[in-house]
Amino acid sequence: MSQEAKQAKPSPYYLARSKNCIGDGLFAGVNFKGGETIIALKRPLLASLESERLKDTCANCFVWTEESSIGSRLYVKEGTTVQTCAGCKRFRYCSKACQKAAWNRGHKHECKNLRSVSDKEIPKAVLGCMELLVRRKHKLIDDDTWVMLQALETHIDDFVQNGKYPGIELMAMGTSQFSATQNTFTKEFVAAMYARILSNALTLITPTFDPLGIMIDPLLCHMNHSCDPNAYVIMDGPQVQIRTLKDTKKDEEIYISYIDPTNPFARRQNELRARWFFACKCSKCQNGTETQEDEWAIAPKDLNAGFKKMADMWLDANPDLASDPANYVDDSTDGRRVAALQGEVFKLHEDAQTADPEEAIRHIESALDLCRQSGLWRIHRQPVPALRDDLIVNALAAGKYELAWAHCVKRHQSVLPKLYPQPYHPVRVIQTWQMAMLAQYLASTGIEVKPGVDMAVIAGVLINMVNEAAKTSHGPENAFSKSVQEKFKEVETEILGKFGSRDVMDNAVKMQEKKLIEMGDLVEF
Ligand SMILES: C[S@@+](CC[C@H](N)C(=O)[O-])C[C@H]1O[C@@H](n2cnc3c(N)ncnc32)[C@H](O)[C@@H]1O
């Protein structure tokens, strides 16, 4: 055997002390280009579904059987349903094979105990903690994995300081009792494990980023945060991949983002401090408010008199508005006014989180009006992009397809490239997919969005875009990428049939690409 062949292939990643963050972190063991896989796991150590998702999602393969907005789950096989476990009456499975796999992974040791509390709603972190304890008690988690899990920060001192520790102790007591592990683990140990879950869990997601619950894995949970991350998490059922968002050199730390990194500096810092107990010093945060996330369209001092007066009124009624760490700008009169306006817009966005789409649309439109009329907001400054995202979702739910379309085009042209420069950025890919599916739907209704527009061709153009990008964002083997590819083939054949030849089709595509750009002015802001 040659010398080279004898040398072991270098591991693509390793754990080590982080230079910039509290505790340990994950590092690149080799050089990566953007869009490559760093880690691929068959499943995380533990995943626990949200209460709502327990009703409609397989607790083993996480296939979500509920209908959702247009085309976002095309990769789910039609007719998929879930059946309740006859024992615990809590978990549901899509097949006997999934039930058996979960049973052998540890459910057999908790099913009976869970039956006695089948009428109780149990939070996902408690259910997850119970499963971990039961599996360890029955030797279904090995020593190395268990030790690695213990290495994760518990942040107990921080929970004591923020007053949440008594609640954690209470939940830990319930966890011990429901899992019948009181004789195996001390109550301090269980409280620490519960705290560890709270401060380390990642979000369990579908390939289209719908949140399903939480997951814990000793390797994945060692990834630290950056508001300018070089990696992201992608899932396909229980399979998890960590993929690079940009070129990453050997020995560079791998960062994902725990939050929406497109928010302004104060909001990001506030969220990270409150939930994960650290002051972020990532490359973006080091630039403070000197980044595009904090760019106003006009200087706060140039705000018009009417809006200055309105902000002063709000500040008289609630002086804390400007000192709220999430909205803080600076202590000048103009800074306080702008912070008050910002607080009001974010508050309107919170109010829009309601189940009634018509009501949500009203809140969102008044927030967008406030942003536009004040002249302060750029189209890419939050919460304008988040308001638009929610407007699209609610407009779809309310059957206002033309409104949803107008905002999809605006987002596609003016927001996505600015917030997510990589064409394979997963958020950009999923939102383009949502737009493509809407275009297809509009084509099927025959609604003429604008004279000369052929929605079927535009849908084809968008599906083609997603088809190319998904190979990198999700990887070619992901169920989402495969569904997109199938859809692309289907649409291409259809359009080719309609135009008769590739040349005629290519000309039509070029013309419709122009039309798509022209539709960017369907909404002004
Ligand atoms: C999911 S864990 C990551 C692993 C952690 N470093 C450890 O060794 O347990 C999240 C915790 O890591 C630390 N952390 C993550 N990102 C950080 C950052 N950008 N700056 C400082 N600390 C960070 C914080 O203590 C946070 O609560």
For the segment 445-495, what is each residue's pLDDT rounded down to a tens digit?
Answer: 999 899 999 999 999 999 999 999 999 999 999 999 999 999 999 999 999
CA–centroid distance, residue 19 to ligand 1 (Å): 11
User: Is the per-residue pLDDT at 8 higher than 80?
Assistant: no
Show the tokens assigned to 268.
């990001």
Where in the chain are all domains bearing CATH 2.170.270.10? 1-44+217-284
CATH assignment of 1-44+217-284, among 3.30.420.40, 2.170.270.10, 3.30.10.20, 3.40.50.300: 2.170.270.10
User: Is the per-residue pLDDT at 5 higher than 60?
Assistant: no
Q: Which helix (H) or strand (E) holds 404?
A: helix 401-410
pLDDT at 385: 98
ipTM: 0.99
Ligand 1 atom showing the smallest separation from residue 23 Cα: 8
Q: pLDDT grade, residue 410 (50/70/90)?
A: very high
Q: pLDDT grade, residue 4 (50/70/90)?
A: low
Mode of pairing for the β-strands spanning 224-225 and 255-256: parallel
**Residue found under tokens 């302060």:** 376
Between residues 42 and 69, the one the model is more confident about: 42
CA–centroid distance, residue 22 to ligand 1 (Å): 5
Nearest CA to ligand 1 atom 27: 276
| Tens digit of each residue's pLDDT (9 = 90 or more) over 279-320 | 999 999 999 999 999 999 999 999 999 999 999 999 999 988
Between residues 320 and 232, the one the model is more confident about: 232
pLDDT at 382: 98
3-state SS record for 301-343: HHCCHHHHHHHHHHHHHCHHHHCCCCCCCCCCHHHHHHHHHHH
pLDDT at 75: 87
Mean pLDDT score of the chain: 95
Phi, psi (deg, nearest 5) at residue 28: -75, 130
User: Is the per-residue pLDDT at 71 higher than 80?
Assistant: no
17: DSSP letter: E
CA–centroid distance, residue 219 to ligand 1 (Å): 13
pLDDT at 74: 84
pLDDT at 78: 87
Distance CA 136, CA 177 (A): 16
3-state SS record for 133-198: HHHHHCCCCCHHHHHHHHCCCCCHHHHHHCCCHHHHHHHHHHHHHHHCCCCCCCHHHHHHHHHHHH
pTM of the model: 0.95
Q: Report, as an integer, the average pLDDT of 46-53.
A: 96
pLDDT at 2: 54
Nearest CA to ligand 1 atom 25: 22
